[in-house]
Amino acid sequence: MLKFYYAPWSRASGVLWLLEELGVSYETHHVDIRAEGGVPEEYRKIQPNKKVPAIEHDGTVITERAAITTYLADAFPEAGLAPPIGDPLRAPYLTTCVYCDSVIDPCVAARAHGLTYQSNDYSFGLFDDMVAYVERRLTENDFAAGDRFTAADTQLASAIGYTMNVLKVLPARPAFGAYLERIAGRPTYRRYQAKDQEAAMRIPHFQKMFPDGPPRL
């Protein structure tokens, strides 16, 4: 049994996409991270900071998006989404999975909240350095890890799509747009986006944020 702890338009969105890519059965547990009063304390038994995503696979709980991504892609190798050990793409694949969590997310959050700081003040470094690095990677490579789609793309593309098109924090660079166009041809990408948007627009927080209907992703 695979349980998925999820909130739409959050860091869990990329894991939703990954599960669709893997084609495995899973049970979704919605966690309203934006509810008044916050997430119930009981959820700390699953995720210590009451965040999403988290999964429970055959009784084992895995938290943190990079760990979940690598765990699931390795647990279901028949999907071919994880370069095996010894494959030259394994290193950039793992690097991208962790970079999404440890650099992109905090850089975007800091920029969205107007945080001013020096590069050495925080482990994740500067927003502009992050943007330049991701832009360079996607200019030199078609996908996150190189020349083929991997589970890392479910995390990088979902992060770029949301932070650029919904949050409007990530700048709209040609390399990012071209990357999303390459990704958009995947049926799983369109399916996950439809599921994620439908779930988001049932939440009062997003209904107030987008009174005229959902944004174009």
Place of tokens 């938290």: 63
Q: Are 47 and 17 in the same domain?
A: yes
With contact defined as beta carbons under 8 Å apart, do 169 and 28 qualify?
A: no
pLDDT at residue 216, rounded to an integer = 67
Place of tokens 């739409």: 8
Mean pLDDT score, 30-39: 90
Q: Are 76 and 99 in the same domain?
A: no
Is the model more confident about 204 or about 64?
64
Q: What is the CATH number of the domain that holds 138?
A: 1.20.1050.10
Domain residue limits at 12: 2-80
Domain finish residue from 20, 52, 80: 80
With contact defined as beta carbons under 8 Å apart, do 70 and 95 qualify?
A: no
Q: Are 97 and 146 in the same domain?
A: yes
Residue 210 above 70 pLDDT?
yes
Give the chain's domain count.
Answer: 2
pLDDT at residue 217, rounded to an integer = 63
pLDDT band at 188 (very low <50, low <70, confident <90, very high): very high
Q: Are 104 and 73 in the same domain?
A: no
pLDDT at residue 207, rounded to an integer = 83
Cα dihedral 207/158/160/117 (nearest 10): 80
**Rg for the chain, CA atoms, rounded:** 17
Which helix (H) or strand (E) segment holds residue 55: the answer is strand 54-57
Separation CA 32–CA 140 (nearest Å) = 38
Separation CA 102–CA 10 (nearest Å) = 15
In a domain, 43, yes or no: yes
With contact defined as beta carbons under 8 Å apart, do 184 and 194 qualify?
A: no
The string of pLDDT tens digits covering residues 78-134 is 999 999 999 999 999 999 999 999 999 999 999 999 999 999 999 999 999 999 999
Residue 214 above 80 pLDDT?
no
Which helix (H) or strand (E) segment holds residue 5: the answer is strand 2-6
pLDDT at residue 10, rounded to an integer = 93
* Contact residues for 153 (Cβ-Cβ < 8 A; gap 6+): 143, 144, 145, 183
Mean pLDDT score, 144-173: 96
pLDDT at residue 205, rounded to an integer = 83
Residue type at 147? D
Mean pLDDT score, 173-177: 98
Q: Are 48 and 107 in the same domain?
A: no
Least confident of 63-67, 120-124, 193-197: 193-197
Q: Are 96 and 41 in the same domain?
A: no
Q: For all residues of the chain together, what is the average pLDDT? A: 95
